[in-house]
A = this chain, B = another copy of it.
Amino acid sequence: MTEIPVISGQAVLDAIDPKTAIERTRHAFERYGRGEWEMPAKVYLDSSPFGDFRAMPARGDGLALRKWVTSFPGNTARGLPVVRGEVLLSDAETGEELAVIECSSVTSLRTGAAAAVSAQVLALDEASSVGIVGCGVNGAWSARCLAAAGYGEGVCADVRPEAAEALAEELGWRVGDRAEATEQDVVVTVTPGEEPVILASGLTSGQHIAVLGADAHGKQEVELEAIRKCTLFCDEWEQASAGGELANGVEAGTVSREDVTPLGDVLNGDSTWTRSDGEITLFDSTGLAIQDLAICQAVYERWREGGIDAPVVSL
């Protein structure tokens, strides 16, 4: 019989601060870029008309992970979470289960951390101000991670004024409209992707834009004309070109693989790209299981050290 801890979302957020999430996420992109961590494509299980489930496996550093996570957009109207599910962490050498970990906390940390890592790597050195378009759970964690990385003050924009106000108050930032948010040095978009929020006419020289909302086919946060003006980066080409923001450019025939650099290649020095001052960089973040693995590795280590209190169950 196997005994494993079941680690709640609150326990994850109490144990892993944004700085740790950023370090670990960076580690994941580096390892994956060097081919040391592995990740088969995620699998979608359609559950129309409600949403879909996603099974996301990854392996690295002696651990194997499978995340099972929902995207049920209609849940918001029903007062239910859009993203929920759990991670099972296993030993990659024996197959032994090591932990069950709540997954929306892990998703928030790694999603927010990816936005911060992309800014550290792709934004101008002097970039400072932040615009957040979409102040829901993952928008808020992006803001927290950017703040932890030294960015800000920021402008928080959301169609729900109370969401923007809460985030602005928490971080000592301010509320603004979408146009104001998208003028900042670093812009993060985390909207449902139903209409473009980054317009070609609103781009500012030298900006960095992290696009986090488009995580399935048909979602769009950036006008095609705006994409053409940016230097393009992605977390992973297969996901980004199939279901990320860049999929729209691929379908339109304006974006091809050679136009897009994986973030890990920049981190590892495997890309010849260097930033020029006026360049606008765009990072398409679709969300990778290796990022989840990096956060869960930290959670599991913390639990082993006695730093997380969690019920242990027998399977």
Chain B residues with Cβ under 8 A from A297's Cβ?
none
Contact of A47 among B8, B59, B78 (CB under 8 A): B59
Q: How far is the CA of A101 from the CA of B78 in the complex (A)?
A: 27
Give per-residue flags for A43-57: 1 if the beta carbon is below 8 A from chain B beta carbons, else 0.
111110011010101
Instruction: Say whether A50 contacts B94, CB under 8 Å.
Output: yes
Given contacts A38-B46, A313-B6, A315-B9, contact A90 B70 (CB under 8 A): yes
Inter-chain contacts of A96 with B (CB < 8 A): 80, 84
Is the Cβ of A86 less than 8 Å from the Cβ of B88? yes
Task: Assess the A313–B313 pair: CB atoms within 8 A.
Answer: yes
Tell me how far the C-beta of A247 lies from the nearest C-beta in chain B, rounded to whole angstroms: 19
Contact of A40 among B10, B45, B102 (CB under 8 A): B45
Q: What residues of B have a CB within 8 angstroms of the CB of A88 in the complex?
A: 68, 85-86, 88
Give the secondary structure class of A's interface: strand
How far is the CB of A267 from the nearest CB of chain B, in Å? 24
CB distance from A238 to the nearest CB of B (A): 14
Q: Is A24 an interface residue (CB 8 A)?
A: no
Q: Is A35 an interface residue (CB 8 A)?
A: no
Identical subunits present: 2
Contacts of A272 in B (CB 8 A): none
Inter-subunit contact A315/B102 (CB<8 Å): yes
What residues of chain B lie closer than 8 Å to A44, measured between beta carbons?
40
Cross-chain contact of A8 among B45, B57, B64, B315 (Cβ < 8 A): B315
Contacts of A97 in B (CB 8 A): 84-86
Partner of A72, one of B40, B66, B94: B94
Q: Which of A247-271 contact B (CB under 8 A)?
A: none
A93 with B47: CB separation less than 8 A: yes
Inter-chain CA distance A44–B41, complex, in Å, is 10
Contacts of A171 in B (CB 8 A): none
Residue A95 is within 8 A (CB to CB) of chain B in the complex: yes
Residues of A participating in the B interface, judged by any CB pair closer than 8 Å: 1-2, 6, 8-10, 38, 40-41, 43-47, 50-51, 53, 55, 57-59, 64, 66, 68, 70, 72, 75, 78, 80-81, 84-86, 88, 90, 92-97, 100, 102, 311, 313-315
Instruction: Please name 17 further chain A to chain B contacts, defined as beta carbons within 8 Å, in addition to the given A8-B314, A41-B43, A80-B94, sorted by A numbering.
Output: A1-B10, A38-B45, A40-B43, A40-B44, A40-B45, A45-B58, A45-B59, A47-B92, A50-B94, A53-B59, A70-B90, A78-B94, A80-B96, A85-B95, A86-B97, A102-B315, A313-B313
* 23 interchain pairs, CB-CB under 8 A: A1-B9, A6-B313, A8-B313, A8-B315, A38-B45, A43-B57, A45-B59, A47-B59, A47-B64, A47-B92, A53-B57, A53-B64, A53-B95, A68-B68, A72-B95, A78-B94, A80-B96, A84-B97, A85-B90, A85-B95, A85-B97, A86-B315, A88-B88
